[in-house]
Structure 1
Amino acid sequence: MSSLTVRNLRKNFGMVEVLKGVDLEAKTGEFIALVGPSGCGKSTLLAMIAGLESVSSGEIWIEDRLVNSVAPKDRDIAMVFQSYALYPTMTVRQNMLFGMESRGVPKAEQVEAIKRVAALLQIEPLLERKPGQLSGGQRQRVAMGRALVRDPKLFLFDEPLSNLDAKLRVDMRTEIKKLHHRVGKTTIYVTHDQVEAMTLASRIAVMHQGEVQQFADPDTIYNRPANMFVAGFMGSPAMNFIPARFTETGGPALALSGAPSAAPLGVAPAHAASVAPGRQVVLGVRPEHLCRYALQTEERKANLARLTVPVEVVEPTGAETMAVMRLGEQEIVGRFNPDEAPRMGEEIELGVDMTRACLFDPETRRLI
């Protein structure tokens, strides 16, 4: 059963079309992440699901109920905002009780809900404090607690971790994942952080210019992106895009721009079968699928194309080392184990794992 169904949803602000026919479905208990750059329409979509923005056209269903004209308070949802939206003059307990009191929930149920949720979020010692006495992470827990006491059909998160520092963001990301595992509620989570989307979501909707570019599980989004926008947006550093042309040299092969020789594509017959000789393509390769060719096993070398490239910049990050290399007129980025990292100014023989590579049409920018 679907907890949320969005059908051909459109939103106009005057003459500007912000959402352009969005379709989305969340099964009961799913964690859906809406991800994309600023201005892509993800927060507007969340606000429309919540009832905070009107619908220009299309439908929003929560379970079997059309909610286009239903007031936010009657949609059986709970929302956690980026700014926490806590009442500063109230204690944590009062903040969590406020919604239940306004809805006339019996006192005994209120007490039980506070006890259950405070234990779940480990905020029992904070119940008599005010928001000004809490850290950012504690405020975020209280904001989630206020949503949890409602026991809604749908949780909506609007970039809830963007105000936290990097370390706390990682910790809270883990807490949210644990929380979702425990309560099992359908969750729609807006973020511009692709790492949050990849680590938290069961499925991800990648948005751009008011449209859903791809809606799939994290593995598919990362390894089989629908188009060059998704491939470039998801992943840090981004996927390398290398202009290429198919040739026939004893079998299908790619001639890469700036490369001294053709890179064999015999290890990717599924791609080769659908591409005619002479066709221009874009080869997409993730930085982690580049390696030092000479250091690989013979078995792995069978899947590698070879390129000789100069190393222009080396960036150690501790657990891994990034290297910027020159291929013809463009730069490509590789991610290396520090023990195998190249040195700045060195010319290396680079291996390209063709079994993990993607091919895109340069005109439509879609995956071939």
Structure 2
Amino acid sequence: MSTLTIRNLHKNFGALEVLKGINLEARAGEFIALVGPSGCGKSTLLGMIAGLEGVTSGEIWIGDRLVNSVQPKDRDIAMVFQSYALYPTMTVRENITFGMESRRVPKKEQAEALKRVAALLQIEQLLNRKPGQLSGGQRQRVAMGRALVRDPKLFLFDEPLSNLDAKLRIEMRTEIKKLHHRVGKTTIYVTHDQVEAMTLATRIAVMHQGSVQQFDVPQMVYDRPANTFVAGFMGSPSMNFIPAELAGDNDKPALSIKTANGSKASLPLHGDAAARIKTGNVILGVRPEHISRFDPQTAARKPGMAMLTAPVELVEPTGAETIAVMKLGGQEVVGRFDRDQAPQMGEEIQLGIDMARACLFDPATKRLI
């Protein structure tokens, strides 16, 4: 196992700055997810780690070795691509062993590595088939097998599941997580899917416009997002952002927000939130699952639960739960409800807002307060 250290990494394409001073460190055996929207720079960063893209400035270290000028074949890495990149005229066996053949690895070692990897990925019965005879999930297993036989210091995954349908993506996500637990190799995984990042990663680097917005464990990225971009990107449906202003007295600080009829509702602040607010205006961030049908008994047991009334504009049943869109002030607010508490279209509903789980953001900087 090896570490990966990236220091003040920049990448320019002519006058266009694509990466703007990236600093990341992956500990030995960690699974790091690079996540962000298209064009944020995550695939470019992965290409630079692999040696497929040059470095404008900064440093990339694999273990104790500076690899800025090292050729891809000499970096001791293995990469799994989105497109599988399998040779269509070769069997699965030949695809997996091709790299070892090129490096003139002895036949006995090849056979041992093939047997080990085929058993690990449960593809023993596929070894004599060609890629055209395989499903998408089977092809992705073969692509991973080709990487695994190398026993590299670092695994790089470039959106490996984006070509698969939703059900198969979930299955392969589980397989990749099991594989990482078995093999324990340091892994860098690029995805635009925040669910993949949350379920797979030890730590997540959320990227936007060439910069890392937050680098932390998944739960912290979700619960305490560094800014409104991270808060809005991580989570589906995304976090609600509600304009608010500080109100109440020193003993009972609260936030004042507009309701649908133009009046104002007061939401008591929880803990030391009021002390962190530097100006009168804030952005209140609330996850959909922290909005529920108000229940006095639950509110009595749960400190920080506030109540307000809002009309229901849209209801979307999803099976186990129901997504509802309410009107608050001049904007829509999304809530996630248990099936037995689902509101009805047009209903005027009493909402419970869990202020203990809410986030406050500075309207000027968009950063977490």
TM over 0.5: yes
Q: Is structure 2 residue 323 aligned with structure 1 residue 319?
A: no
Partner of 1:135: 135
User: C-alpha offsets along residues 287-306 of structure 1, whole Å, 9 cap, x if unaligned?
Assistant: 00001113652434542111
Deviates more, 1:247-256 or 1:137-146: 247-256
Equivalence map 1:1-368=2 (5 Å): 3-249=3-249, 250-258=251-259, 260-265=264-269, 268-276=270-278, 279-294=280-295, 296-300=297-301, 302-368=303-369
Cα offset, 1:263, TM superposition: 1.0
State the alpha-carbon separation in 1 of the partners of residues 209 and 184 from structure 2: 31
Secondary structure in 2 matching 1:297: helix
CA contact (8 A) 1:40 1:209 kept: yes
Offset from partner CA, 1:333-358 (integer Å, 9 cap, x none): 00000100110000011010010000
How far apart are the structure 2 equivalents of 1:35 and 1:108? 40
When structure 1 is superposed on structure 2, of 102-111 and 179-188 the one drifting more is 102-111
Kindly provide the amino acid, as one letter, of the partner of residue 304 in structure 1. M
Amino acid at match of 2:355: M
Distance 1:343 1:146 in 2: 53
Could you tell which deviates more after superposition, 255-264 or 234-243?
255-264
Q: Deviations over 1:228-286 (max 9, x none)?
A: 00000000000000000001345211101336321111xx222111225x610000000
Q: Is the 8 A contact 1:293 1:301 kept in 2?
A: no
Higher mean displacement: 253-262 or 150-159:
253-262
Q: Give, as a single letter, the amino acid of the residue that structure 2 aligns with 1:291.
A: S
> Do 1:31 and 1:200's aligned partners in 2 also have CA atoms closer than 8 Å?
yes
Query: Do the aligned residues in 1 keep the contact of 2:258 with 2:265 (CA within 8 Å)?
Result: no
Q: Distance in 2 between matches of 1:239 and 1:331?
A: 12
TM-score (norm 1): 0.97
Greater Cα shift, 98-107 or 113-122:
98-107
Q: Is the 8 A contact 1:60 1:67 kept in 2?
A: yes
What's the offset of the Cα at 1:2?
6.0
Bigger shift: residues 110-119 or 244-253 = 244-253
Q: Deviation per CA, 1:136-159, whole angstroms, max 9, x where unpaired?
A: 000000000000000000000000
In the TM superposition, what whole-angstrom CA distance separates every residue of 1:15-44 from its partner, at most 9, and x where no partner exists? 110000000100000000000000000000
Count of aligned positions = 365
Distance 2:360 2:265 in 1: 19
State whether residues 2 and 154 of structure 2, in contact with CA within 8 Å, keep that contact through their aligned partners in structure 1: no
Whether the 8 Å CA contact 1:2–1:25 is kept in 2: the answer is no
The 3-state SS of whatever aligns with 2:264 is coil
Determine if contact 1:312/1:324 at 8 Å carries over to the other structure: yes
Q: Deviations over 1:51-73 (max 9, x none)?
A: 00000000000000000000000
- Name the SS for the 1:269 alignment partner: coil
| C-alpha displacement of 1:359 | 0.2
* CA displacement 1:207-238 (0-9 Å, x = unmatched): 00000000000000000000000000000000
Aligned-residue identity in percent? 76
* Amino acid corresponding to residue 266 of structure 2 in structure 1: A
| Maintained 8 Å contact 1:28/1:186 | yes
Q: CA RMSD in A?
A: 1.2
Cα offset for 1:309? 0.2
Residue type at the aligned position of 2:155: F
Cα pair distance change 1:116/1:335, threshold 3 Å: same
Cα deviation for residue 199 of structure 1 reads: 0.2
Contact 2:303 2:356 in 1 (8 A): no
Aligned AA for 2:165? D
Please list every run of at least 4 consecutive aligned residues from structure 1 whose deviation after the TM superposition is greater than 4 angstroms. none
Q: Find the residue that maps to 1:262 and give its secondary structure.
A: strand
Q: Is the 8 A contact 2:292 2:353 kept in 1?
A: yes
For 2:242, give the aligned amino acid.
I
Amino acid at match of 1:346: E
Secondary structure of residue in 2 paired with 1:28: coil
CA distance in 2 between counterparts of 1:269 and 1:91 reads 62
What secondary structure, in the 3-state scheme, does the structure 2 residue paired with 1:144 have?
A: helix
Q: Distance in 1 between matches of 2:341 and 2:301?
A: 16
Instruction: Show structure 1 runs of 5+ residues with no match.
Output: none
* Structure 2, gaps ≥5 residues long: none
After superposition, the C-alpha distances for 1:102-160 in whole angstroms (9 at most, x for unaligned) are 11211111100000000000000110111111100000000000000000000000000
Structure 1 residue identity aligned to 2:277: V
User: CA 1:304–1:89 in structure 2 vs 1: closer, same or farther (change >3 Å)?
Assistant: same
User: Cα distance, 1:83 vs. partner?
Assistant: 0.1
**Distance (Å, rounded) in 2 between the aligned partners of 1:179 and 1:270:** 43
Contact 2:299-2:305 at 8 Å conserved across structures: no
> Secondary structure of 2:357's partner?
coil
TM-score w.r.t. length of structure 2: 0.97
